[in-house]
Amino acid sequence: MVSSHRGYDFMITISKIRRVVADGFGVSQQEIMSRSRRQPIALARQASVYYCRKVLGIKYADLGFYFRRNHSNMLYAERSIEDRKIYDRETKAILEGLESEFPWLKGEEVEA
């Protein structure tokens, strides 16, 4: 997907989404790709998956390959973030802050 931000056109990639989310959640990109189940890392990983689906429309199986997990983990990650946007004020605030700073994260929803 090609988007523009502050007058610059650029290609949105999984790596770009992972970098933006890592910065927003205060974790490293390497931690997002790790096997860690610690809360802040797992939440950042789930948000990365959520935005990859929302912005890029990548299939669960392909996301699983990229994040080194199975497709059901990717489905869980997406649904978990959707629930947290409703019920968890702190997570919602972080996600809204990211979307405010990077409007291209508001990509259109993708059908499963």
Domains defined along the chain, listed by start = 14-106 (1.10.1750.10)
Cite the beta strand spans of the chain per DSSP E: 2-5, 8-11
The residue written with tokens 């998956």 in the block is: 49
- Residue 19 has a pLDDT of 94
Pick the most confident of 8-12, 19-23, 55-59: 19-23
Instruction: Write down the pTM of the prediction.
Output: 0.83
Higher pLDDT, 75 or 107: 75
Q: Is 109 exposed, middle or buried (0-12, 13-18, 19+ CB in 10 A)?
A: exposed
Q: Which long-range contacts (CB under 8 A, 24 or more apart) does 89-97 make?
A: 91/43, 94/24, 94/25, 94/47, 95/47, 97/24
What is the Cα 21 distance to its own chain's centre? Answer: 6
